[in-house]
Structure 1
């Protein structure tokens, strides 16, 4: 691969990640453009699931909306990346917001400020996210929200 190909790949990865961050920051309409209809999600979910139920465009919209229902002012930003390797793109992100309620057994009061981190791995096909691996520091988030405490 020559430098021109690498630059194009990096530019495409950056453009996709910019839209990915927009999605996670609440622009649900962009999901129709960047999420493949057969998108698969791999994640440890709050309900104990593995993410396989979060498929396709509507599943991603619902997943993002669920996170925003817990923290309506949730803002994601990229700390590292994007790092592109063939058809995969990786980003390290940070999310900040204020807890809005809704997590059973959370001891933190509504309005508690939270910050948590994670890493997303995206498999890209045809300029869309075809597969998504989420590795978030849920333990840190749940600790800040005092889930199970008290």
Structure 2
């Protein structure tokens, strides 16, 4: 079995906590903060609702749009950190929970407007020069789609 080298060299805990607080503020509707924390060449790795891999979401404008799309479904969507931040070199990992009221607009959804939704996910952020340059998203989309009663057909 291969030994895994776990290190905390790189980001200091205070910087990581500050960046995560700003990341959380972005997802909670403060899109202006994206200019401060997202690199111009930021790259997203995620399974998207449209079947894409996230590569079309890039830079500051792409992240603002991506966050806005999620918030369109639930304007009161609130994200909080469940676990972390965990720092490893130039990476930060957080597990989050999001909860809010469905506003409508998801194709194929049968849930009534006002339905409370709660789902979880994990973000991995790679940091360079104090900004997020890569973002990996792993969200429990199946749980969200089930709560929204999205049909497979």
Please give the range of the TM-score, normalised by the shorter of the 2 chains: over 0.9
Task: Tell me what 1:35 maps to.
Answer: 38
Structure 1 stretches of 5 or more lacking a match? Answer: none
Instruction: State TM-score, norm by structure 1.
Output: 0.94
Q: Any unmatched runs of 5+ in structure 2? A: 1-7
Say if 2:131 is the partner of 1:120. Answer: no
> What's the offset of the Cα at 1:10?
1.0
1:73 counterpart (51, 73, 76)? 76
Question: What secondary structure is seen at the aligned counterpart in 2 of 1:44?
Answer: coil
**In the alignment, is residue 106 of structure 1 matched against residue 130 of structure 2?**
no
| TM-score, structure 2 normalization | 0.92
User: What residue number does 2:4 align with?
Assistant: none
Match of 2:48 in 1: 45
RMSD, matched Cα? 1.6
Structure 1 residue 149: deviation in Å? 6.7
Residue in structure 1 matched with residue 60 of structure 2 by the alignment: 57
**Quick check: 1:87–1:124 contact (8 Å CA) kept in 2?**
yes
Q: How many residues align?
A: 146
Once the two structures are superposed, what CA deviation does each residue of 1:76-135 show, in whole Å capped at 9, x if it has no partner? 000100000110000000000000001111010000000000000000001100000000
